[in-house]
């Protein structure tokens, strides 16, 4: 292959354009089809919003693969590898399950079974982990059953990690887009710098995944006009897992010996892409951590691990005091820090500046997390020059207004009730029946009587 950077960018743009243009019609279809669930206790949005956004994302995936198949350099990938067809088969199956869940709310165990079947379909078509590179040891060949179980586990974990983090407008699509961008740079570096064509499918999958997320984000940012639903979150989770499986299980570290000097050093250089098998995925470490915490929390309470609640990381950010947009940006920040930090470490693991930069940015991230707890207050002389949220609350402004007491001996003003609120007045129109049939005479009625007597 040559240097199909332009072809990757063209595929990304076509995927993003198709996804963006189809999301509007899909939204209208979701409204007509009734895919607008009622507001649940764990939801943070206030109005019913249509789902099924995964329909547009799936057709964007199909458009991206079709475009790549007709390009000069990327078209050779479809001739030499069966992985793009394996991805399309698994994506179609998981997408159908997600569409049914968005419309009919199918059982969690059925969805889990569908995820395992979709992963098995990809394994049967060749998208599987063949060996497991272990730092300090080298490549460890896996049997067919071991590779299948490890592949299915990685796919299921990644799908549910992305699905669990899909709780705020634009959160899942943005975080997966950041992870796909970092993964694209890493896979392209392995393919271009080392000349290993086995990394080309992972590079293509990452470019298409970025296009799917970028095309959907304008419709999904706060306030969202449409949700991707399970049909979208499970789809992008599967595509992300397919890229990780392709570059991890198909790229042989022995091919890097000519550049690294030995197999152990080659494996050490590729540590950032093998760590996902342990964490299980550092490029989406934040959703993975949220997944693990959710399983532990629900199991501890005696609930099902798939029971929904309001204990996710984004829910906790809202409880601390962050706004919706700020909570999403904070999650973006941590995802980018972990993903691109691992990418920088893979380029030059001996640089101390990379470690110091990650530590410094982590400290900034902690400050951003606790910002509502440490909201600064401006001094009184500077209150006129700062926004209201930074001004000190004065007691006179927060205290309730007191009612002026009437001096003794002064008659009660007409039109006021005996013990009601000062602003509450009785009707002033003449002829309104009072107690025991008496007629309440107001000021206007008395003035009318005086004019008549004159």
70's tokens: 């007709």
Q: Averaging pLDDT over each range in 45-49, 89-93, 160-164, which range is the top one?
A: 89-93
Report the pLDDT averaged over residues 23-33.
93
Q: To the nearest 5 percent, what fractions of the chain are helix, strand and coil?
A: 65, 5, 30
Residue 33 has pLDDT above 80, yes or no: yes
Report residue 134's pLDDT band, with 50, 70 and 90 as the boundaries.
low
Q: Tell me the β-bridge partners of 131.
A: 141
Residue 262 has pLDDT above 90, yes or no: no
Question: In the Cβ-directed half-sphere of 260, how many Cα atoms lie within 13 Å?
Answer: 20
Residue 265 has pLDDT above 60, yes or no: no
Residue 100 has pLDDT above 80, yes or no: yes
* Ranges of H-type helices in 391-442: 395-398
pLDDT at 325: 79
Distance from C-alpha of 129 to C-alpha of 10, rounded to nearest angstrom:
29
Question: For residue 30, what are the contacts with CB-CB under 8 A and spacing of at least 6?
Answer: 36, 50, 51, 52, 53, 102, 226
What pTM was computed for the model? Answer: 0.73
Q: Where are the domains of the chain?
A: 5-38+47-282
- The rounded percent of the chain whose pLDDT value lies above 70 is 64
Q: Write phi, then psi, for 141 (nearest 5 degrees).
A: -70, 140
When comparing pLDDT for 54 and 414, which is higher?
Answer: 54
Cis peptide before 280 (omega within 30 of 0): yes
Report the pLDDT averaged over residues 329-346.
81
Distance from C-alpha of 314 to C-alpha of 330, rounded to nearest angstrom:
9
């Amino acid at each position: 292959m040559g240097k199909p950077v332009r072809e990757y960018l063209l595929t990304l743009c076509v995927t993003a354009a198709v996804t963006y243009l189809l999301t509007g019609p899909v939204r209208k279809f979701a409204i007509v089809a009734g895919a607008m669930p009622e507001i649940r206790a764990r939801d943070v949005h206030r109005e019913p919003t249509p789902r099924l956004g995964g329909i547009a994302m799936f057709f964007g995936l199909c458009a991206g693969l079709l475009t790549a198949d007709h390009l000069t350099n990327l078209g050779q990938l479809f001739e030499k590898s069966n992985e793009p067809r394996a991805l399309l088969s698994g994506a179609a199956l998981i997408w159908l399950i997600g569409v049914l869940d968005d419309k009919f709310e199918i059982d969690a165990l059925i969805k889990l079974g569908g995820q395992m079947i979709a992963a098995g379909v990809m394994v049967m078509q060749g998208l599987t982990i063949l060996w497991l590179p272990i730092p300090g040891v080298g490549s460890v060949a896996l049997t067919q059953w071991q590779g299948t179980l490890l592949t299915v586990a990685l796919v299921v974990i990644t799908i549910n990690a992305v699905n669990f983090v899909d709780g705020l407008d634009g959160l899942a699509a943005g975080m997966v887009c950041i992870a796909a961008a970092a993964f694209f740079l890493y896979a392209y570096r392995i393919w271009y710098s080392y000349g290993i064509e086995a990394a080309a499918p992972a590079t293509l999958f990452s470019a298409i995944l970025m296009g799917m997320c970028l095309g959907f984000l304008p419709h999904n940012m706060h306030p969202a006009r449409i949700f991707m639903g399970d049909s979208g979150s499970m789809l992008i989770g599967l595509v992300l897992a397919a890229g990780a499986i392709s570059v991890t299980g198909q790229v042989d570290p022995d091919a890097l010996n000519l550049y690294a000097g030995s197999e152990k050093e080659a494996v050490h250089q590729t540590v950032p892409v093998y760590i996902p098998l342990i964490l299980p995925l550092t490029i989406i470490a934040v959703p993975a951590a949220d997944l693990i915490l959710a399983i532990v929390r629900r199991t501890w309470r005696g609930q099902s691990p798939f029971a929904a609640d309001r204990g996710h990381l984004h829910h906790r950010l809202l409880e601390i005091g962050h706004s919706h947009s700020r909570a999403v940006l904070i999650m973006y920040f941590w995802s980018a820090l972990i993903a691109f930090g691992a990418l920088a470490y893979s380029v030059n693991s001996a640089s101390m500046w990379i470690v110091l930069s990650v530590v410094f940015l982590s400290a900034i991230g902690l400050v951003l997390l606790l910002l509502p707890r440490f909201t600064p207050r401006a001094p009184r002389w500077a209150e006129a020059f700062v926004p209201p949220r930074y001004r000190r609350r004065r007691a006179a402004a927060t205290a309730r207004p007191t009612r002026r007491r009437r001096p003794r001996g002064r008659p009660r003003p007409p039109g006021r009730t005996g013990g009601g609120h000062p602003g509450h007045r009785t009707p002033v129109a003449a002829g309104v029946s009072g107690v025991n049939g008496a007629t309440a005479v107001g000021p206007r009625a008395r003035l009318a009587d005086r004019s008549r007597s004159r």
